[in-house]
Structure 1
Amino acid sequence: MSDSKIFEKIFSNQFDRENYFISYIGIKDENLYNLEFFKTSEIINKRKDIVLFTQSIQNPNDFNIINFFKEKVVGYKGSIENLQIDIIKSEKMNNKIKKAFDIFLKLEKEAFKNDRVKENFIIKIMSWIKMFIDSLEIEENDFPKIIFYSDIKKHELYFLTILYLSGFDILYLNPNSNDILEILDIKKYKISLEEEELKSEYLTFDERISLGEIIDKSCVRKAMTIGAQASKRISDELLNDAGFIKPWQLQDRKIKNLLLNSTIDEISIYWKQPLKLRPGFSFDEKIVQAPVFLSKLNGIYNDSKEYIKLVSALRDLEDVYFIEYTGDINDFSSEFTKEAFSLSFALNSNNTIDKKYILDENCYPISILNKNLQYLILEKIEEVIASDMFLIKLNKEDIIRGLYTTLHMNKRLVHMINNFDYSLVNPKIIIYIKKSTLFNKELVFLIILLSKMGFDIIILAPGGENCIENVVNNELMDIHRLDKMVYDFKLDSVNEEGNLFQKIFGKRSGFKWG
């Protein structure tokens, strides 16, 4: 997903440009739009030279300020610049604002019926400037900025225009209306206009930030493995720079998966390694980035014994859940029932989840987890819902089925989540497709979610059937094609006596003997 460019211009360096007044009307790509709101919100909150308006500006109600400007404007004779008046503390900006008033009042003289109307307007705008602009920390090497997200009234647009003429960057955002075109001649002021499709649904600034955060979490991210030597190098760097990571030290953080794009040899190298030794592993005070495999191996090697050896190596770990999948959802979760449609009450209109509703129910297999883990799972469900990973967009029933399948996941999967220390060896699922079987959306929903929770997931399809490719975006899966496709391949068919398989896997394999 590429970044939108809504905020790009006003945050560019001032040395090679003049100040901007940019108006974005409508939305081209709502996901990108919301994503940039989320990414930029922290910058806006940290900077002290930005004023953000997310609703209509209230009329001034501080009578001390109003009366102060009333007394000063009494002497107005057609020039604000000639008045002895300090609108704000900064002398340099104060002079720019006074000049901007004169320019604007001259250009828009037809907008005021008489002097009294004009004076009232001047007092109102000066009061707004005092209230919202005076406290800004204005730097010499950057333009102060106004961001306005809402329907706009005439005097509000005039207020923005005067600040623009004073040297402010102005960004006006309105997904729902092009009302600015009816109020002001934007060409006269060289206001940049970008128009896209108008949206009928109104979302607040904060709602767009929340949706953008979900989109950010659901974006597919991939990292390239770099071979066997990377393991030692990353290990050394981790121990030198970050020190020893104590058990469970990272559990208070949220987890974000990073999909590894790898060769089969590299899967073998990193499969048994703790996450902290994999390329792409990182953490900060909030998030652990977990490099994981979400891979599919189509076919087998020409030498069937080599394929058996590979499968054996993948299975030879304590926390591996091996499933010979034949279409039985019970290997992963409980079977969906009509009563499960009651979960529709847990979905908000924008397909986010009423988390309190779910947590208070306390009747699902995941309910044995601590509240933070349950909450994280619900957030990951929202990420899957909001993602563009499915070839056919999820409808309401798909979402309910996916929610049900996740909440009722197999207890073994729940225990694997509970036992997962984010810096150590992560939980793993191997899905073996002996006979042609298609995955339904709710199973794929759960697979994606478990990947987001830090699971390694490998699908083995000796016959190369498109069990998952017809459901999800190809960008999601790391697909490898081996030497040949063998349908109805039996893992124990290499040795006619059947002893090789038992020697390799033994009693602990849990494999279903036919």
Structure 2
Amino acid sequence: MQIKLKNNDKNYFYRFIGIEDFFKYNDELKTLQSKCSELENACLIFDNEIVLSGEMELIQYIYNELQTMNINDLINQDITIFDDFQINNKFLEALQYAVNLGMKNENFFNDNIRNNFITKLIVWTYMYVKNIDFNKGYNPLCIYYGKIERHEIYFLMLLYKMNFDILYINPLKEEYFEEIDKDKLSICKKSMKIDSIESFNERCKKGKIIENIETITKQIQKEIHEELFVNTGMFKPWQFRNGFTKSVLLDTIVEDIEIYFNEPAKLRDGFDVDGNIVKVPTFFYKIDGAYADRSKYVKLVSKCLEPYPISSSNKLFFENGKISYDEGISDEMFQLMFCQLSDGTFDIEEIKKLNIYKFQKYNEVVQNFLLNKFNEVIKRNDLFVNKLDKDSCLKLLVLVLNLNHDIIRIIDNFDFVGDIPKIVIFLNKEDTISENMIMLLGYLHNIGIDIIIFNPSGMCNLSNVIRSDKFNQVRLDKISYDTTYNKLVFSLIKPSVFTKLFK
């Protein structure tokens, strides 16, 4: 059974009522018990009750101390169960929550009855939680099986507020949660079949460990995905596989490239998630000239090319501006015009039917993403200097459909929240970039790709095609008309060679 161990603050609280499959139920509990045994000092299992077995002197002492305390301000009272200040403070906050909820829900006829309730919560915490290890990198787990009393529900809620993951399992019926859990901390999953409660240990004795598991905790992972990951800052691999990107230009200075260029999207300023749309903060930088200090310039270039030589699956390097196929529009390609809709966009399903379409070998999600991004670009009025007319739209569509397959691969490998695909271009001597390739760079930037253009001669002018506020441009100390990437290669490699020799 796959117990979900999460290293973040978002924890879960589930109630599984009834039985989905009689034949698997005991096996599921046995597997759960087995997995919990592996969580040393990080798991609690209660079987039909939470035993109150503390010494009477301790219970009486706590009860007496409560007589002099401000029950409405327990956080600032002298109650210390945990040596770690932060954990103890978390406990006091959770205790206050449970006490406040109890005073709101329960008929405490007098202070003595109320203090008995509070005493029980504190003693239970001392007995069962004091030795829990909160520093394992994942949330502690509490499983409560069977019938449950009202005060025990408050204790589970206290544990939840202390960042425990909570599973309440009852094969027969729901208890008092609906009356008590007014803030909906827990989520109930009901199955139609029921059975006698028995005990957790007895059921586990009848069961056997499941090797190939898709049971209670698997349901948690699948069914409550939204609760566990959305708005938590934690993301599952390929969580947004069917989502979309919104590229956000990073307004930075050139020195920031060395610091943030290799950072994943989720760690950059401006990163955000809105439903299934991921805002990806990206670099789009044209760097004219070079530093007077050659070593400083080499350091900047090498930072963009790390690891050197490039072996990263998300980074491409071009020594000239021809990053893809600059196909002319043939008679055959004019059939694309028949795929255009009344709003100016193109019917992507009709495009896929044409014999000039070359993306069939890629996943359907990638194909749709590339084509929908094209439609997004041609609807924008703020990216290109000149509004795209029919001929320009057709030209861009042809460029997209003939996109360099290495570029498609880094897009296919783009998880939106993680490592951002990168294109680094070094223009040798007085090389420039054609208008078609600049238009394609605008499209790629709109996808959310980092683009860095080293232009030592300063001869390349992106602003003829792309609006100047849609990319960053900096002019370094001096313009150099004869600099080539090959002249820098020795500077890039030499330090590493000497490092190996004299390490």
TM-score, L = length of structure 2: 0.49
Q: Which has the higher contact order (CA 8 A, sep 6+)?
A: 2
